[in-house]
Structures are given as structure tokens and as C-alpha cells.
Amino acid sequence: MLKGAKMAAPTGLILYYHPYSFYAQKVVMTLHEKELNFEPIVINLIKGEQYSSTFLKINPRGEVPVLLDNGKIIPDSARIIDYLEDNFSNGSVRLIPLGKNLDVRAKVEKYRQMIDPLPAGAITMGSFFHSELCGQQKMPFIKPIRMKFKDAEINSANNLRLHAELNPDAKSVLLKKAENQDKKHQLITTKEEYKKILDSVAEVLEKVESELANHDEEGMWLCSKEYSIADISLTILLVRLDALGLDSYFWTNGKSKYIEKYYRRVQKRDSFKKTIPSFNQHMAILIGSQTPLSIGIGIIGAIGIVTTVAILFKKIIV
């Protein structure tokens, strides 16, 4: 939750995030890979805290993650990761190689620029409208959550305009965001257009599969023997696709055996385990978010949560 005192005199690294945010997960994994201490402050996206007047003073776009470094505000996951690399690499793990590793650095940047532009939000929300394209969706995207987020997506642009009127200082930014949301909604609710988005993901993953297949040494990651920022981008993408049930669309059942092997391997990293919520953490997050969304919808009532837990224990996920 937001802590106003932290805004007054922040010290050290403070990360405003939510554990389900695709972009926040990339930053959290980077922080753990670099073994940097930070104070995490959850902005409850399910309850709409990102559009509170307090948080909009930090980031007028109402988005996480945001990093505070001794009062300096750095928004946007890519900017945060570059900032951490530039300012916290002496004595810490470097995720973008320097020095003589020019070829590796070029490859890292190539794959980062290839993976990072993929529209995680559109991929995620579109899957709720086209479930026939997905296999078994996993936590946190079990059926009751999918239905609520689908409703939230339908109302998103109008609610952004409402928040724009309530927050004059962020009005122009939020109105522009609402305009973009209208365009995104049109794309993801049209099956042909959504499949084009998935095709763009498939094109990138085909290149990743080819890269992994061409490695001539055991123990290599995407670009070298060292785990890099390109690997973080790939890892978090695979996590999201897997949770949405799109693993069967892209790599399981022999479709991309090297990506499948890579994904099994990366899940063993300590940074992965510290970044991606466990089953118990998922349940704590969902139970803690059962009050109504600020945009006017509910997420799960107490009865719904109990029912969901019972179903999950029976392994009937959908």
C-alpha cells in the first residue's frame, strides 16, 4: 500500500510495484540478479491504487514500476534497468556486458530490442477474450480472475477519463492513455487482430529458438554463458505466456524444444523464485485484493475465494 511518509524523505532504493505487473517483474528480477537491497512498496493495481492522487504525483501515467533512489524518481522498466546497470554495477553483477564482449553486448541489445516491444498488456487482456486460443491458464489467471479482468478491460477507457477529471495535474496524460486504450481494446477484441499480435510473438520466439538451438556449449543462456538482461526479458515473457495458457500455443508438445528446456532451467534460478509468486503467495495476494476495484468492479468475494481454493486443490483450474 502507499505510504505517504516514504514520499517525504525516501532513502535508498524503493520500488513501487505489483507482483503481477509484467514490467515490474522484470525490474524485480533485475534487482535480485544484481543482489541489490531495496524496499518494495505494493501499489495494489486490483484496487486501483495506481490512480490515487498520491501515486499520480510519483507517476502521472498511473503505472508501475517506479524506482526511487534517494528521492530521484525513475519510471518505466527499461529506464529503471538501464539506471541500475549504470549506477549499481561496481561490485554487483553486470547484466549488460562491457569491455571486450562487444559481440555479446550487441547480441544482448538485439534480443532486448526484439523482445521488449512485444505488447504484454494486449497479449494478456486479449487472451481473456479469445480463450479458445489458450490451453490451461494458471495462477493468477484462473477463471474468476479472467472474468473480472475482462470486465475491467471493457470499462478501462471510461474509467481513465473519470480519473483524468478527478486529477487535473495528470489529466492530459490520462486522457491520452484513454485514447490509446480505446485503440488497444479494438485490436484485442477482434480475433484476427489478436492473432496478428500472437504472430509477432511467434516470430520473435522462432528467432529465440534458433539462437538456442545453435549454441555449441552446454550451460549457455540466450546470448552467452552469463545470464543477461536479454534473458530477463525472455524469462518474464515466458512466465506471462505460460500463465495465460499460451505455452501450448508457442512451445510445448515439441513445438520449440529448446525454449521448453530453457524455461524449465530458468525456473531454478534464485532470482526467478524470488520474483514469481508461489501458490501460497498468489492466494495471499488474491485474498488481500478481494475488496472492490476503485473503477467500480469486484474481484472475488470471500465465498468466491474459498470456492476457488477448493477447486485449485482438486486441480480443476479452468
Is the pLDDT higher at 154 or at 313? 154
Half-sphere exposure for 163 (CA within 13 Å, toward CB): 28
pLDDT at 295: 32
Task: Return the sign of the alpha-carbon dihedral for residues 290, 59, 82, 258.
Answer: positive
Is the pLDDT higher at 256 or at 278? 256
pLDDT at 289: 65
pLDDT at 283: 82
Task: Return the sign of the alpha-carbon dihedral for residues 175, 244, 20, 258.
Answer: negative
Q: Who contacts 306 (Cβ-Cβ below 8 Å, separation ≥6)?
A: none
Rounded average pLDDT over 305-309 = 42
Half-sphere exposure for 147 (CA within 13 Å, toward CB): 7
Residue 129 and residue 165: Cα distance in Å, rounded? Answer: 29
- Please give the model's pTM, rounded to 2 decimal places: 0.87
Query: Does 288 have pLDDT greater than 90?
Result: no
Residue 120 and residue 110: Cα distance in Å, rounded? Answer: 19
Strands 72-75 and 66-69, sheet pairing: antiparallel
What are the distances in angstroms from CA 266 to CA 170, 199, 210? 39, 24, 18
Stated as kind and residue range, the H or E segment containing 179 is: helix 171-189
pLDDT at 303: 36
pLDDT tens digits, one per residue of 191-230: 999 999 999 999 999 999 999 999 988 889 999 999 999 9
Residue 153 and residue 184: Cα distance in Å, rounded? Answer: 10
- Mean pLDDT score across all residues of the chain: 87
Residue 228 and residue 222: Cα distance in Å, rounded? Answer: 8
108 neighbors 228 (Cβ within 8 angstroms): yes
Q: Which residues of 158-173 are buried (b: 16+ CB within 10 A; e: fewer)?
A: ebbbbbbeebeebeeb
Question: Domain limits of the chain?
Answer: 120-275
| 170: confidence class by pLDDT, cuts 50, 70, 90 | very high
Strands, sheet with 66-69, edge to edge from the N-terminal-most edge strand:
39-42, 13-17, 66-69, 72-75
Range in 7-11, 49-53, 293-297 with the lowest mean pLDDT = 293-297
Residue 29 and residue 35: Cα distance in Å, rounded? Answer: 10
Range from 94-108, 156-170, 276-290 that averages highest in pLDDT = 156-170
| Lookup: cell for 177 | 492513455
Rounded average pLDDT over 33-55 = 92
Task: Return the sign of the alpha-carbon dihedral for residues 277, 283, 288, 290.
Answer: positive
19 neighbors 29 (Cβ within 8 angstroms): no
Is the pLDDT higher at 18 or at 304? 18
